[in-house]
Each structure stands twice: as C-alpha cells, then as structure tokens.
Amino acid sequence: MSTSIRNLFSAKDISAELAHKIFKVARSLEVSLKNQTALSVLSGKTCVNLFFENSTRTRMSFELAIRKLGGNVLNFTAGSSSTQKGETLIDTAKNIEAMRPHALIVRHSSGGSPYVLSKYVSIPIVNAGDGFHQHPTQALLDAFTMLSHFGSLEGKKVLILGDIAHSRVARSNIDLLKTLGAKIIVCGPPTLMPPEPKALGVEVALRPEDVLSSVDVVMALRMQLERQNSMQIPSLGEYTAIWGLSVEREALLKNEAIILHPGPINRGVEISPEVADGRRSVILDQVFNGVLIRMAVLTWILKPEEFEKWAK
C-alpha cells in the first residue's frame, strides 16, 4: 500500500493544526455552498459511499460534498448488495476497488473496520462511523459549529449527556474537543457509561442539574437502543425524567449556552421538542456544517495541494 495516501480513521489522528486548517477550508467553502456554486476540485474523482448501516445525514452530506466539488459518487447499500449472498466486507471492498474509484467512505457496525479495510485496499478510506468507536467527521462538524459561536474552544465546558457507552459521537468529540482545549463533562445513567469514564480525560457528573448552569455547550446523545444488548435502563420514561434535556433543565443553562445533537433525534426521549427547536439549538447548523466539513476533508484527502492553498 502506498504510504502517501491519506485516511481518516479517528478523531485521535486529527492534530489541532489539521483541525484548524480543515475549519479554515470549510469556512472558505461556505459561500460557494450557500450560493449553490459548483466547484471542480474533485473533477475526475469518484468516491464510493460504502455504508453497511443506515444513515441520513452522513451519507447524504458526503454525497453532496463530492458533487459540490465536481466529483462523482456511487452509493453502496448493504441491503441490496451481494453481502446478502454471503460476500464478506473485505471481498466487497476489494471488488469495489477493482472498479477504480478514488476513495471509500465507510460506515460499519464493527469498530475498527475502516482500519482493517485499509490493509486490503490501496485507496484512501474515510471513517463515516464504526460501531461504538469513532465518527471523526461528526466531531469535526460539531467542533466547527461550536467555534462558529464562541470563536475559540479554549476552556469552554462541553457537557455530553446520555448514552456515552455506545456513542462513537461521544468518543470522537472527547478526543477532538480535548485537542482543541475544551473541558468535557459526561453525564448519563451509570449503566450507559464506559467502565472507566475518567480514563477518557473527562469529568463525570452524576446528574445534569449538577453542571448545567456552568457549561457552554450541551450535546444530547440519542438513546442507541440498537447497540444495547438488553434494555440497560428501567424504561425510556424514567430515562427522560432523570436525564432528558427538558425545558426545565434548559432553563438552568447560561444565557449564551448552545445545544447540539448529532441526530437522529428521538423527540421527547433524550431531548424535548421545544428544546430541539428552541433558540439555543444549533442542530440544523450542525447538518449544514457537515457538508462543509466533508468537502474540506475530501479535499484534504484527494487534493492535498489545493487544500494547503486554501488553508493558508
């Protein structure tokens, strides 16, 4: 495998310098996206969305990002593919590579699968979410959204609330936000916490009420019932009563605090509809920023010289 290809497997791999370059390129692409201007930086390049799990935001924003940069995209959907006839992940990726695309964007339920695939194919791989493990472009778009509000994340306090144990969004955000100087607090039911949360370099709060008045950002996480072996909380109603981001809990926040959620939202479970649609919510800004960040990441991977010029 060529040593010069660029992959993005984990938010741990993103230095502060690279993150700020990606943010600068994303910012410079904002005008073209808002004006519906088509660019040609990925002209002649084809990317494959290799998604083995469902997705709305990530798959569509990668697709839009590729198209906006003038490239081509193929969408693989596991349910209608030959994986249904027993073809393995590795064989699937090798066969798709044989059609000569320029990059694979991979979502899979097994942590580490994008990295494993990189041992079998010779084109760049972007991790679009692997099991509980990582979702690096989500962390980038979340940090970019926070930076758009605060200018700097140095010393900012971010509360990640909910099902931390099963969340690749939480892990990726913890890694990147620490790199960017933020302080992270995690809070959720003890059964939905990783075994040693403090080992992640975060503070742990027992109840949202203990910290809501001191934080700048609340990131509410979806209850990931599909990743839980059995119901790890007594009931969704009790979860909502104790951990849900309700109107009453929102009222404890500082005036300038903002609320994020990676989506999809379970309205009325981890976040109330009034809060999700309220004045502090930047949830749809996250979605818009996801396109910009993915445009910047794909440029970094497939057109490094252009990326460096734009990042200056």
The residues binding ligand CP (CB under 6 A) are: 55-58, 129, 138, 262-264
The residue among 211 and 296 lying less far from ligand CP, judged by its C-beta, is: 296
Which tokens is 193 given? 């916490």
The whole-angstrom separation of Cα 70 and Cα 43 is: 5
CA distances from 219 to 78, 91, 146 (A): 30, 37, 11
- CA diameter of the chain: 55
Closer to ligand CP at the Cβ: 92 or 138?
138
Of 155 and 264, nearer to ligand CP (C-beta) is: 264
Nearer residue to ligand CP within complex by CB, 6 or 57? 57
Shortest Å distance, C-beta 107 to ligand CP: 8
Report, in Å, the least distance between residue 288 CB and ligand CP. Answer: 13
The CB-based long-range contact list for 53-60 (8 Å cut-off, 24+ gap) reads 53/78, 53/107, 53/108, 53/109, 53/129, 55/107, 55/128, 55/129, 56/263, 56/264, 57/262, 57/263, 57/264, 57/287, 57/290, 58/107, 58/128, 58/129, 58/135, 58/137, 58/138, 58/290, 59/107, 59/128
Nearer to ligand CP, 69 or 105 (CB): 105
Q: How far is the CB of 196 from ligand CP (least distance, A)?
A: 26
By C-beta, is 38 or 284 nearer to ligand CP?
284
Residue the block writes with tokens 């972007």: 126
The C-alpha angle with vertex 6 and arms to 175 and 174, in degrees rounded to 5, equals 5
Residue nearest to ligand CP (CB): 58
Of 170 and 212, nearer to ligand CP (C-beta) is 170
- Minimum CB separation of residue 29 from ligand CP in Å reads 20
Minimum distance of ligand CP from residue 175's CB (angstroms) = 16
Closest separation in Å from C-beta 239 to ligand CP: 20
Q: CA triplet 100, 102, 103: central angle to 5 degrees?
A: 120
Q: Which residues pair with 203 in a beta bridge?
A: 185
Least distance (Å) between residue 115 CB and ligand CP: 19
Q: Quick one: 68 or 303, whose CB is closer to ligand CP? A: 68
62 versus 307: smaller Cβ distance to ligand CP: 62
Give the full edge-to-edge strand order of the sheet including 157-161. 203-205, 183-187, 157-161, 217-220, 258-260
CB 58 to ligand CP: min, Å: 3
CB 138 within 8 A of CB 171: no
Least distance to ligand CP, CB of residue 173, Å = 11
